[in-house]
Every structure is written in structure tokens, then in C-alpha cells.
Amino acid sequence: MLVNRVAALGIGLVVAWLCLDGCAGQKQLQNNGLTIIFHQQQEPDALNAMISDMVATSDAVRPIQEGLVAVDDQLRVVPVLATVVPSVENGLVKALPKGQGMVVTWPLRRGVTWHDGKPFTSDDVSFTYRVIMHKNTRIATRDGFDKISRVEILDPYTIRFTFRQIYAPHELLWHNTGAILPKHVLESYIQDPDGDSINKAPFNRHPVGTGPFKFKEWVSGDHITMVANERYWRGRPKVDALTMRIVPDENAAFTLLKSGELDLYQSASINQFSALKKLDHVRLSAMPSLTWEHLDFNLGLPIFQDLRVRRAIAYAIDKEQISSKIYHGLYAVAHSDLAPLSWAYNRSVENRYPHNPAQARRLLDEAGWHPGLDGIRVKDGKRFSIRISTTAGRKTRELTELVLKHYLKKVGIELVIDNAPGAILFGPYPTGILKGLKFEMAMSAWSAAPDPDNFSLWHSSQIPPNGQNHVQFRDAELDQLLTDGTRSLRRDERRRIYQRAAEILADKLPMIPLLYWSQLDPINVRVRHFKPNPSSMGNMWNCYEWEVDTAAAGR
């Protein structure tokens, strides 16, 4: 009797489950259509890159809105809504006499329309500048834009900006936060000079752009869908729709990719590398990125003011082993604050501090740090025990810390781990651990722009609370170089400047570059023409080219 009941219950459950499963199968069928589903770990704040400084935002906005230029996968600046990128060579950038600044003329693309049918003109570009400079626009930075002194509309397809001073990376202002906004939709939101309605505009959740995809819907916390723009100026994209699915947990993202519910799992966890390799319907691409992980010294502490101590620590660390053991060899060893892809990269600084514990011990002896009873070095009665801080909960960083602790112990330095959640580590002056100068050593990453200018990181005027030079590096020659760097329009001159800056950084070692991040972007083999982009453009930069290979076994 009981057996019968249990059996009946079991059969009922199986039937229910088959029903559900049938639906799931149906859904997969639809999935094989011309919709590409990509993943993001976080939900964007708004679909307006101007007021939301998140990777997720830039990914979601990229297919919808366009800038005057884009940065391609080789880090070249290419025209998008402009017909050509202005430069000194093509005569569209002119330096004004007596160092009074420069004038940049942008010829714009004709025949481009907004998704609602209105034409795109130079009015929109000038309007975008006005939004950026509006008092209450919650833009992350106006760096560069605030050097513009005059905007002139020469004709509907030509616009001219006058800069107060020479500003070399001027074209990059117009690729990310400077994506062009439609004047006819948003004009009323910046009428009030004291209002902040631009931050609250419905547009931010329902954008209109010129891009290859039109916004369709945003279901909070779940997905954002965009459909092909039939009238796109490059021609209709080859897929019908793009969907961004927001999946915070990496195990869930992996599972969705495995089951075919997801086509692209962006910035996959490095810990899943070997499991991802086993999926035969997934192509793995590991793209070196511009983000570089580094170990900072607090130069405000007497202990680190001795250059020999900093160099000893550099010699003690085996970057190759960190790369191979923790990052599966995917993260390349870094030697500079610029990426090898950059046109200003200096090869001569590579391998200046190879792994050499003996050399490290010699330097520490020289500096007066001698091994104490417990093996930890002592000088003037002070033990060489140093705290290291990084983002709590970032697994690979926590592992790296343990390995660093292991290396430094071998040369007689004790490393004490003292991590904090990102919000506190990167928090503002004076409570933040980095900006408040409350760290001793720290490990974090900077994401470099395609332009080599790192003024805010190393210039002595940028020591907190003024800027991001929390290592508190001061060097008169470097200060001068960084100031000159953005004041020159000549590529070869700039290259010389930044290569010399890299020399100084490698020599004086205010921080140790550890590794370049790699973006691990597993993608279903059915998606073609996917080209990962290491810059802040993100992977969506060429989504107008993407195609679905219906014949490929996409599971």
C-alpha cells in the first residue's frame, strides 16, 4: 500500500519534471535562432555611459550608442561617427601660436540617423559637450573636456573644438563617456542650469542611439535585450538580437554556458580555466588586457624609502611562478605601467629584476637588515614585518598574497595579510585604505587607457588627497616628463618621453608591476567574428560584424 503511494508520487514527479523539461528544450530551440546571449556579472546602473562608470554599462551601451571614434582590437583609434580621426598630419589638428592651445576640427559622417529616424548632426555633438559640462551631470570625470574653451558648429557635419592647452589624447575623449547623445530627446533635461534631471531622465533606461542595435527591453536584475537596427549606416547587423543576461555567480554562469543558455561568458573566472577547456562547444580566447596588477610600497614609511629594500623585494618575487601557478600562465609577467601593445612601450625595462633570492638577501644585508632569532630580519631593534592589503574576497589576489608571503619569508621578511572589501580599500580620502595612506604594501590593478599618459598615478602633485599617487612617489624629472607628455602632439616625441618615464619607474621602483591581466572570454563556437578588445571599449565593439553559424553544433 505504502509502496504504491510512493510509486504514484514518484511517477507524478517524473511526469511534472518531463513537462518542465519539455519547455526547457523548446527554449533551447529558440536559443539557436539569431539571438546572441552574452553575460555580465553586474547590472548596469543606467544605459548612459556618461552617468555610469561601470564595465557593465559600457557593454550594454556599446551596441546602442556610438562615439566619434572607437578603439579597435589592436588599440588603433578608428573613426565611427566621424569620417576621419583628426591629427596634425591630416591638418585637422592645429597648435595655436605661443602655446595658447590647439584647435581640432571634426568632419562628421553624413546620412546617419538616430533610432527614432531623426538625422545625426553636429548639433548632437555640441549638445553632448554641453551635457558633460552641465553642473549637475553625474559624470565620473571631466578630465580633458574641461580643457576645451570653445565649441563652434561650422556646418551640420563639421564641428570645431578649441583647447586651452595642447592636449594630446584629445580624440579619446569621444569614444567612451563621450558617446554622442541625441539632442532632440534630451534637450529639455539640461534647460535648468541648477537641475539634475539629466541623471534621472527616462532616456537612461530607454536609450536612443545611432548604433547597430536598438534598445528593446530591460528587465531589472535579469536581462537587457536589443534588436537589430534595420537602418544602421554600416548595414543591418547579421544577428537579430543581442541579450545581456545578468548572472552574478560564476558557477551559474559556467553552467549556463555549458548548457548552451549563454553564448558568451565574459571575464570568466581564471579558476574555471581547466573546466572550460573541457567544453567542446566553447572556444576559449585569452586576450592580454591593458590592466596591470602591481605591488605598491607606501613610500611615506621610512622602511621603504631605502631603494635597496624595494629592489630586494623585487628580486625575492618569482613573477613567472605566480603567473603559472595561480593564473595558469594566462597572465603575462609585467615590467612596466604600459602594456606591450602600447605604442609607447619600452622593451628595455623588461627583466630588470629577475627572481634572485640571493641578490635580495645581499641587498637587505647592505641596507642594514640582519636576520634575527626567528629568521625575520631586524634593524635597530625593529622587525621587518609588513602588512599587505588587497581586495578581500578576490580569490586569485588572496592566493597571490600567500605566495608573496612565502617568497618574502625566504629572504627574512614577514608579510602580514590585512585585506579589506573593495569599497574600503579604494574608498576616498581619508577613510579609504589606499587614498587615506593607511597601507604598508598593497596589491591592486590599474586599468591603462590606450593613451600612455599616467600623470595622475606618478606626478608628485597627485599625492592624496589630490590624486591617485598613493605610493607617494616624488621625482623631479618624472614630474617634468609627465607634464610635457600631454603637451606635445608629435608621436615620436611623446614616445621618447614615456619611454624615459618607464626607465625612471623601473629604476626607482615605487611599485613592482606584477602581471598583465588576461580576459578569459569563453564563447560558443556558433558565434563568429568575435574579436576581444583589450581596451575599455570592451568586447561589444564590433558586434555589428557578429554572425551566428547555424550549422555549428552550439549545443
Partner 1 sequence: MGRYILRRVLLALPLLLGVSFILYVLMRLAPGGPEAVYGQNPHVRAEDLARIREQMGLNDPIIVAYAKWLWAFLRGNMGFSLFTGRPVVAMLGDHVPNTFLLMGASLLFSVSMGVLFGVISAVRQYSWFDYGVTTFAFFGYSMPTFWFGIVLMMVLAANDYSFALGGYHYETGHWLPAAGMFGASFDGNLIDWLRSPTWVGTCDLGAHLVMPVLVLSIVSIASWSRYARSSMLEVIRADYVRMARAKGLSEFRVIARHALRNAMIPIVTLVALALPALFAGATITEQIFAWPGVGRLFIDSLGKSDYPVVMAIMFISAILVILGNILADILYGLLDPRIRFE
Partner 2 sequence: MTGLFEQRVETDADIAPPKGYWTGVWRRFCKHRLAVAGLVVLLLLSVACWLGPVVIPFQFDDLDLDHTRALFSWQHPLGTDELGQDTLVRLLYAGRVSMTVGVAAALVGVLVGALIGALAGYYGRTLDGFLMRLADMMLSVPVLMLIMVLSTFLKDRAFPGGQIGIIVFILGLTGWMTVSRLVRAEFLSLREQEFIDAARACGLNDAQIILRHLIPNALAPIFVAATLGVADAIMMESALSFLGFGIQPPVPTWGNMLTNAQQYMIDTPWLAIYPGVLIFLTTVSVNYVGDGLRDALDPKLKR
State which of positions 352-391 bind partner 2 (CB under 8 A). none
Q: Which of 4, 91, 117, 220 binds partner 1 (CB under 8 A)?
A: 220
The span from the CA of 245 to the CA of 226, in Å, is: 12
Residue closer to partner 1 (CB basis): 124 or 337: 337
The option from partner 1, partner 2, none interacting with 45 (CB < 5 to 8 A, set by class) reads partner 1
Binding of residue 196 to partner 1 (CB under 8 A): yes
Q: Which of 133, 153, 424, 504 binds partner 2 (CB under 8 A)?
A: 424
The option from partner 1, partner 2, none interacting with 406 (CB < 5 to 8 A, set by class) reads partner 2
Residue closer to partner 1 (CB basis): 425 or 514: 425
The residues in 256-295 that bind partner 2, with binding defined as CB under 8 A, are 269, 271-272, 274-275
Which cell numbers in the block locate residue 4?
A: 504504491
Local structure of residue 542 (DSSP, 8 states): G
Residue closer to partner 2 (CB basis): 53 or 398: 398
Closest approach of Cβ 130 to partner 1, in Å?
Answer: 16
Nearest to 555 by CA among 269, 169, 270, 282: 282
Q: Which of 36, 56, 60, 420 binds partner 2 (CB under 8 A)?
A: 420
Which cell numbers in the block locate residue 412?
A: 627574512
Length of the chain: 555
Q: Cβ(147)–Cβ(167) under 8 Å?
A: yes
The option from partner 1, partner 2, none interacting with 408 (CB < 5 to 8 A, set by class) reads none
The span from the CA of 169 to the CA of 176, in Å, is: 13
The option from partner 2, partner 1, none interacting with 274 (CB < 5 to 8 A, set by class) reads partner 2
Residue closer to partner 2 (CB basis): 241 or 424: 424
Local structure of residue 174 (DSSP, 8 states): G
The span from the CA of 170 to the CA of 155, in Å, is: 21
The option from partner 1, partner 2, none interacting with 491 (CB < 5 to 8 A, set by class) reads none
Number of residues that bind partner 2 (CB under 8 A): 29
The span from the CA of 156 to the CA of 208, in Å, is: 20
Residue closer to partner 2 (CB basis): 279 or 307: 279
Contact segment (CB under 8 A) with partner 2 among 7-15, 357-365, 394-402, 479-487 equals 394-402
Residue closer to partner 2 (CB basis): 367 or 415: 415
The residues in 329-348 that bind partner 1, with binding defined as CB under 8 A, are none
Q: Cβ(140)–Cβ(177) under 8 Å?
A: yes
SS (H, E, C) 297-347: ECCCCHHHHCHHHHHHHHHHCCHHHHHHHHCCCCCEECCCCCCCCCCCCCH
The residues in 232-251 that bind partner 1, with binding defined as CB under 8 A, are 243, 245-249, 251
The span from the CA of 550 to the CA of 364, in Å, is: 63
The span from the CA of 265 to the CA of 58, in Å, is: 16
Sign of CA dihedral 414, 417, 422, 424: negative
- Counting Cβ atoms within 10 Å, is residue 249 exposed (0-12), middle (13-18) or buried (19+)? exposed
Nearest to 78 by CA among 210, 166, 175: 175
Footprint of partner 2 (CB under 8 A): 250-251, 254, 269, 271-272, 274-275, 321, 325-326, 392-393, 395, 398-399, 401-403, 405-406, 417, 419-421, 423-424, 433, 438
